[in-house]
Amino acid sequence: MIEFSDVSKIYGNFWAALSDINIKIDQGEFVFVTGPTGAGKTTLLRLIYRDELPTKGIVKVFGHNLTTLRKKIIPELRRQIGIVFQDFKLLYERTAYENLEFSLRVIGIPKSVIKKKISDTMERLGIGHKSDSYPFELSGGEQQKVSLARALIKDPLILLADEPTGNIDPDGAAEILNIFREINYTGTTVIMATHNTKLAKSSRKRCIALDKGNLISDGSI
Amino acid sequence: MIEFSDVSKIYGNFWAALSDINIKIDQGEFVFVTGPTGAGKTTLLRLIYRDELPTKGIVKVFGHNLTTLRKKIIPELRRQIGIVFQDFKLLYERTAYENLEFSLRVIGIPKSVIKKKISDTMERLGIGHKSDSYPFELSGGEQQKVSLARALIKDPLILLADEPTGNIDPDGAAEILNIFREINYTGTTVIMATHNTKLAKSSRKRCIALDKGNLISDGSI
Amino acid sequence: MAAFNFILSESARNLIRNRGSFLLSTIVQAICLLLFSLFVLITINIFRFIGGAQRRIEVYAFLYDKADSTSLMENIRLLRGVADVRYVSKEEALAELKEELKETTSLVEVLGKNPLPASFRIQLEPGSRTLEELERIEEKISILPGIREVWSGKEIIRRLAKAVRLVIGIDIALLVIVAISIVFISFQTVESTILLRSREIEIMRLVGASESTVRSPFLLEGLVQGFAGGIIASLLVTAFYQITAVQTQIIVFPYLTLFVTNIVFGCILGLIGSNIALTRILK
Amino acid sequence: MAAFNFILSESARNLIRNRGSFLLSTIVQAICLLLFSLFVLITINIFRFIGGAQRRIEVYAFLYDKADSTSLMENIRLLRGVADVRYVSKEEALAELKEELKETTSLVEVLGKNPLPASFRIQLEPGSRTLEELERIEEKISILPGIREVWSGKEIIRRLAKAVRLVIGIDIALLVIVAISIVFISFQTVESTILLRSREIEIMRLVGASESTVRSPFLLEGLVQGFAGGIIASLLVTAFYQITAVQTQIIVFPYLTLFVTNIVFGCILGLIGSNIALTRILK
Ligand SMILES: Nc1ncnc2c1ncn2[C@@H]1O[C@H](COP(=O)(O)OP(=O)(O)OP(=O)(O)O)[C@@H](O)[C@H]1O
Ligand SMILES: Nc1ncnc2c1ncn2[C@@H]1O[C@H](COP(=O)(O)OP(=O)(O)OP(=O)(O)O)[C@@H](O)[C@H]1O
Ligand SMILES: [Mg+2]
Ligand SMILES: [Mg+2]
């Protein structure tokens, strides 16, 4: 379903964020991407949702070679992918509720059917009481949960979560991991980037370890 | 040096982010503020640099009652305080170097004397090679380190660090904690908010634990 | 398209958030269009005046007192380019002068004898109202026996031709300037909206919005602005119409045409401007 | 102040980043100022014309052929408000008429006898060039023996007074409109810069920038914009001066004054506009 073949990503002609990566992730897998700061975790995820193109090699998602994918198809690709951004990427001028609403309406889902969906998802993450708050009125962890809710709400085929617990306490992190496991059971491929090696280890899932752009291990640990 | 007397902070008339907090922090102390998401850690820090005023009670910093402090004095107060923001607050349109330069020039330090200082600080945090990168070209951890560098570079009397290791791997976090200890030895008061209770515990420092706006413990643990 | 409502509400949101610069740009566009309308108006009236003047071009041929007016008239009437010839006797000429000098009636009354000559007033066919034709006809008439002097409005024709060229030149120049200005203003406004919303656009794309969903609100903004500018210009033109044309009734004022033209023009140029902004900023 | 350089470079940065809307606003401001300059120009010339017309006001008193002109002249000269009296004989009147009717010399020559009356041309003192005074003097003269008829430019005076009121009214209205427009435009531009930079402002404040360091770049932006608008308007006025005044030399053109006024006016209004934006947005 997701396939990297000899993929390198070089920024600005000399900074190799990723070097010769070969990985294959099947539908329904749960994969951690670990590594220290600057290892290339975010870059790896960005290649999957075609925010960047590889400098070398081929990235295939749903069978499409992303390098040759027609521009018009990109939105359709992204609609199948839920993304939790490391920096949240919430709209500052909309409330938590409106942020979720926006992400659904932008892909053409009519206003009438989304109300219940939004409140359910927010309740599930424990931020139901914050639905009318603007991002600047939310604590760091609450913002992260809104970003998480936005990724979950569209029932994606692939969930990409970039450091989704960086601002959340250990108990909260464990809860979120449970939610990820649940949606993984329903068939969604989950890829989670984190520097929290301990969390990754304790979950006994496949773990892709990066360092300075190199793949240093791949498999359960 | 920093004194909270019966401080409550209520947002929007009903949401109590802090309730009846009494604490006293002396010059040269090293204090952790811990608690789960939404506990009020960021709010506590914001009261110290007078970004918010308490709804009730008195906050004193350097002997000034911040509620009655004249507006013209606020900049002078803030010049003594280095702040690592939870969301970094970097300027998107300036490189890492320019971000540091900006924060120094804004308080009237001439261009000529700051060059060496900036490169020294960046080297110390291991981001010297990224000085010409814009924030969007930096990984999450690297951005956090730039924010950290900006707080350290002005040799503050008080360092407020809000979740300064949220995007940094365990090794990196330990290094940063070492840097904090170093500048604490030179007399700077360090207050670090984190949900990483383990990190706080392992350092054997004073620890102010919050939950839902209430002070639940204060002392070394 | 389910996103249509969404696009509309997003556009409205944009406009409300940018209402200040929207207002400013709209006013400037309206002024441009108004300027253009006024110039079109002036042009139309100049052309009407020129047309009228050309139609009124006559060649005057003054006769000796003893000339044989009937046969002369026949000869002139046969000349190529001559449409009509009218004979004005000495008495009629005096009556005309009396008419023209209205205010000094007493002076005319005390004239002893009539010093004015009889004349032919020769009208030309439309195709012969040019400089060369006029010269040819003038020459042909002046050599006829019994003709004392021939006078034609050669100088007038020359000036009119010059005026026509000038007016058309200015018109084209102004049209180009106004069009460029309006496109530039739309471009400017939409560009700054895009910059202000660049984060929103990025996020829209990342959550899977199609290109048309991203672009439509901005195109709509350019369109609305052009439309608003056109409407305002049209209203100002209407006001101007009420003040001048209705009251004085001297000038031609194709007021409805101008009204529609302003709006159509504004819309098209607004769309072009926002389109340029979109293709320049959103690669 | 060590931050002065910093403020300058920040302002330059702002301007470069916003160059599009800066340009647009500056042009609009320039147009406003130009409009105002032109109207000042028109006003000055209208007043000069009115002054000239008032100075030329004369009362005509026509005499019976047998009247005693010398004693009458004495009497009139003694009237309050009369500055000077000139006697125009029947012959002089005819000569004048001849002069005026230049084109119809032949008509005047055939006149048998002179039908024109002799007259006094009475000039008034400056203070008496009002409607009431004119009526008083006219009445006084008309009852003198030997005076056939008195004619004065009452209607002209009435129209001039009306014109003066109108021109002053329009001037004040235009001044207010232009001033408000320029302030609004500066306000608008600076406001949108502030909104675009609100994050930067927040961060500046958090790292300890003084209020003046935060505000100065924006004030400077308003000032520079007003200044630029003034300069452009002044250059356009200069171009206009070269085209009209220098070549025709009919109109009065206090060209340097206008040049300076535009710039000063632009700067002050620009500052006011940006100041309003600052106090409104940055609490
Ligand atoms: N757009 C870019 N231009 C240039 N360099 C970039 C760009 N994006 C990332 N980099 C560099 O590539 C390297 C890998 O970045 P990436 O964001 O993938 O790291 P990461 O593993 O996500 O780190 P973190 O845990 O800190 O988020 C970093 O050194 C970063 O500076
Ligand atoms: N400006 C605001 N308006 C309204 N509510 C606010 C505002 N700022 C914070 N809050 C609320 O106050 C509570 C405490 O927020 P605070 O940011 O202090 O939490 P925190 O301890 O820093 O949490 P985290 O670990 O997630 O950063 C949260 O529930 C938050 O939603
Ligand atoms: Mg990352
Ligand atoms: Mg916080």
Query: What is the rounded distance in angstroms from the CA atom of residue B221 to the CA atom of residue B63?
Result: 29
Chain D residues within 8 Å of chain C (Cβ atoms): 18, 20-21, 23-25, 28, 31, 101, 104, 106-108, 110-112, 115, 184-185, 188, 191-192, 195-196
Q: What is the dihedral of CA D158, D161, D167, D171, to 10 degrees?
A: -150
pLDDT in tens, D91-115: 887 777 777 665 554 445 555 566 7
pLDDT in tens, C45-62: 878 877 777 777 788 888
Ranges B68-77, B90-99, D112-121: which has the least confidence:
D112-121
Query: What is the rounded distance in angstroms from the CA atom of residue C207 to the CA atom of residue A88?
Result: 12
pLDDT in tens, C76-87: 888 888 888 888
Residues of chain D with pLDDT > 90, as a percent, come to: 10
Ligand nearest to the CA of A144: 2
Give me the sheet containing D58-63, strands edge to edge.
D82-88, D119-124, D58-63, D147-152
Between β-strands B15-25 and B2-11, what pairing exists: parallel, antiparallel or unpaired? Answer: antiparallel
| Neighbour-count burial for C233-253, b at 16+ CB within 10 Å, e otherwise | bbebbeebbeeeeeeeeeeeb
Residues of chain A with pLDDT > 70, as a percent, come to: 99
Q: Do B140 and A86 touch (CB under 8 A)?
A: yes
Q: Return the structure tokens found at A92.
A: 């500052």
Closest CA to D49 of D251, D274, D224: D251
Residue C181 pLDDT grade (very low, low, confident, very high; cuts 50, 70, 90): confident
Q: Which residues surround ligand 3, an ion (CB under 5 A)?
A: A 42, 86; B 139-140
Kindly state which CATH superfamily the domain B27-56+74-220 is placed in.
Answer: P-loop containing nucleotide triphosphate hydrolases (3.40.50.300)
What pLDDT is attached to residue D109? 55
Average pLDDT over all residues of chain B = 93
Q: Do C2 and A75 touch (CB under 8 A)?
A: no
Min CA distance, B161 vs chain D (Å)?
Answer: 14
Query: What is the rounded distance in angstroms from the CA atom of residue A73 to the CA atom of residue A4?
Result: 20
Whether C116 shows a pLDDT value over 80: the answer reads no
What pLDDT is attached to residue C124? 82
Which residue in D107, D108, D188 is closest to C20 by CB distance? Answer: D188
What is the Å distance from ligand 1's center to A156 Cα?
25
Where is D57: in which H helix or E strand?
none
Whether C179 shows a pLDDT value over 60: the answer reads yes
Query: What is the rounded distance in angstroms from the CA atom of residue A45 to the CA atom of residue D26?
Result: 46
- Contact B167 CB / ligand 1 (< 6 Å): yes
Are B32 and B192 a contacting pair, CB within 8 Å?
Answer: yes
Ligand nearest to the CA of B210: 2
Domains of chain D with CATH codes: 2-52+159-281 (no CATH), 58-152 (3.30.70.3040)
Region D245-274 average pLDDT? 82
Residue position matching structure tokens 């730039």: B146
- Contact B41 CB / ligand 2 (< 6 Å): yes
- Chain A and chain B share a number of CB contacts under 8 A equal to 82
- Contact A17 CB / ligand 1 (< 6 Å): yes
pLDDT in tens, A44-100: 999 999 999 999 999 999 999 999 999 999 999 999 999 999 999 999 989 999 999
Query: What is the rounded distance in angstroms from the CA atom of residue C42 to the CA atom of residue C46?
Result: 6
Whether C105 shows a pLDDT value over 60: the answer reads no
- pTM, two decimals, is 0.81
Ranges B22-36, D69-83, D89-103, D231-245: which has the least confidence:
D89-103
Q: Where are the domains of chain B?
A: 27-56+74-220
Which residue in C24, C111, C195 is closest to D110 by CB distance? Answer: C111
D187: which residues sit within 8 A by CB, 6+ positions away? D273, D274, D276, D277
Selected residue with higher pLDDT from A29 and C94: A29
Ranges A3-17, A126-140, B183-197, D42-56: which has the least confidence:
D42-56
| Neighbour-count burial for A81-118, b at 16+ CB within 10 Å, e otherwise | bbbbbbbbbbbeebbbbbbbbbbbbbbbbeeeebeebb
Query: What is the rounded distance in angstroms from the CA atom of residue A83 to the CA atom of residue A77?
Result: 12
What pLDDT is attached to residue D149? 82
Whether C103 shows a pLDDT value over 80: the answer reads no
Ligand nearest to the CA of A211: 1
Whether D86 shows a pLDDT value over 80: the answer reads yes
Which residue in D199, D202, D213 is closest to B106 by CB distance? Answer: D213
